[in-house]
Chains A and B, each alone.
Chain A
């Protein structure tokens, strides 16, 4: 290990720090979890203090895809397309148990977990998850972002 490795690892840490505090989220909101998402984003449980308050309504401008709410088979191609449209580095948060595993909608219409379609980084279970859970998941995502700076 030389001086070079010290600098590059410090640089990675700096990049990780910068990335984790400037999350641009794309809320792929479909269902009830959207209400708790709104509650987390609003002033009571403010998610802006984590730097994640500015919601970009375009996948091209976002780096974290929050999949909020049940994904049905009709919606799944749309989700895949939106995910594909995002540029690296990108992370995916499965918000709510319908996106984690399908929830209690074990039927012909629901995708039983979005990780069958796209890779997921953080799973936030709950039906819907309390804003405290969401913030916990967001902080875990921040740890992952900070640690994952070397990947890109």
Chain B
């Protein structure tokens, strides 16, 4: 029989046959109280200290990559919405840019700026959700309510532009679905002002808060070398001191024409990540405001509003073969199609006939437009990039979001791979948790900002 240790005598550990102390296995998840939902951490505890943490993922695997191969290139856009569902616009545009790279086409300038503005708004929503949720898990429920309030203001903005709040399917290969509505700049300005007020309140509530600091400083530390070795990017990398931001390193869309800072911290703990995210929200608003001010193409002045033509007369003219000049006649589109008039679409879509749908005036107004529309939508035809592959990285809210698209020349993607920015932090999560206490699991996990849709795809 082995010697009974002090711990066994005093703490009653061990089975009495001298097998030594035992660790307690605590299964955290897969159903979380925190709104993260779908991670299983099997923590081996020695008292309160986490000795070993085994992370299991995959509870939200929805076969994104396989589903993308089923339909055409634009069919994958709704699936990309649901990847990082807190910042869906970044995913949409990232995928569309990867396919555009594969096709070798360029989008218009105005579209680039619109993509920048909408991506930054999405990024702010993501950081608001992350900080709100992780503060709520620490007990600061007020902060959560304030952050969601700010997120509502931004979602109203997104709804103005795209029509939906969360799963917007706004990006298209070759551009975006529709132009920005009138008066958007003014509404955005107001929304940003209100968001700034909320951020100010939250700052006063959290940043100097003794309890918050005690729980977050020095907790969940990941050294710079480990962060890089685990291919972690985004706010976690910047909190460890590496100023890597895809928007700075490989500028895309209009990021080389706006000025912004890349906030970094040195410590690599949860508090540093919180500070980085708060600073990034301010930078995102700054980028959006600059982009709105510099938006090329100006406000869409529809000065040819003119008289609506009587539909019957229109049809008669067409039947008589007098089709010349019919396309140039002003048509009033339904209000559902706001932002999709011919002039607006020309400003935001690449105009390449193989890729972008013709505006509705053409689709309904001429046989060529109808044929073009038909060829792009129906099976067997559609967007056909030449065979090849392309990888396009964008800066997602959690780090480098890359889309690797392989085409075989047909109208369906052969392989779509999403490089998820939250997979590396989860792979490193066991390093974050081991050595800490079981109560530190919650703030560390919250600061990693795991988004299930992106992690499990």
Contact = CB atoms under 8 A, between A and B. Distances in A.
The answer to whether any beta carbons of A and B sit under 8 Å apart in the complex is yes
Given A75-B38, A110-B62, A127-B167, A42 B149 contact: yes
Interface stretch (B3-11, B17-25, B27-35): B27-35
A127 B85 CA distance: 11
B31 A82 contact: yes
Is the contact region of chain A dominated by helix, strand, or loop, or is it mixed?
Answer: loop
Contacts of B58: 72, 74
B67 interface: yes
A109 interface: yes
Interface in A109-128: 109-110, 127-128
B391 interface: no
A139 interface: no
Interface string A10-48: 000000000000000001111110111111001110000
Contact of A109 (B62, B133, B148, B167): B62
A38 B231 CA distance: 31
Contacts of B82: 31-32
A75 B145 CA distance: 29
Interface stretch (A1-9, A86-94, A100-108, A141-149): A100-108
Given A42-B145, A105-B62, A110-B62, A30 B166 contact: no
Nearest to A34: B35
Is the contact region of chain B dominated by helix, strand, or loop, or is it mixed?
Answer: loop
Nearest to B84: A32
A128 B149 CA distance: 18
A35 B129 contact: yes
A99 interface: no
A2 B85 CA distance: 58
A115 B82 CA distance: 23
Interface in A35-90: 35-39, 42-44, 57, 69-70, 72, 74-75, 78, 82
B148 A42 contact: yes
Given A34-B35, A72-B59, A74-B61, A43 B149 contact: yes
B148 A70 contact: no
Nearest to A41: B148
B165 A36 contact: yes
B86 interface: yes
B124 to A, nearest CB: 14
A30 B59 contact: yes
Interface string B110-152: 0000000000000000000100010000000000110011011
B62 A29 contact: no
B145 A70 contact: no
Nearest to B86: A35
B78 interface: yes
Contacts of A36: 165-166
Interface string B24-53: 000000111101111000000000000000
Contacts of A109: 61-63
B66 interface: yes
Contacts of B155: 39
A78 B31 CA distance: 8
B416 to A, nearest CB: 14
> Which one of A32, A43, A72, A78 has the greatest number of beta carbons of chain B within 10 Å?
A32
Contact of A43 (B31, B78, B148): B148
Given A42-B145, A42-B149, A44-B149, A35 B63 contact: no
B436 interface: no
Contact of A31 (B31, B32, B60, B133): B60
Contacts of B36: 29
A30 B365 CA distance: 46
Nearest to A77: B30
A31 B166 contact: no
Interface of B: 30-33, 35-38, 58-63, 66-67, 78, 81-82, 85-86, 129, 133, 144-145, 148-149, 151-152, 155, 165-167, 452-453, 456
6 contacts: A31-B38, A38-B133, A39-B152, A69-B60, A72-B62, A109-B62
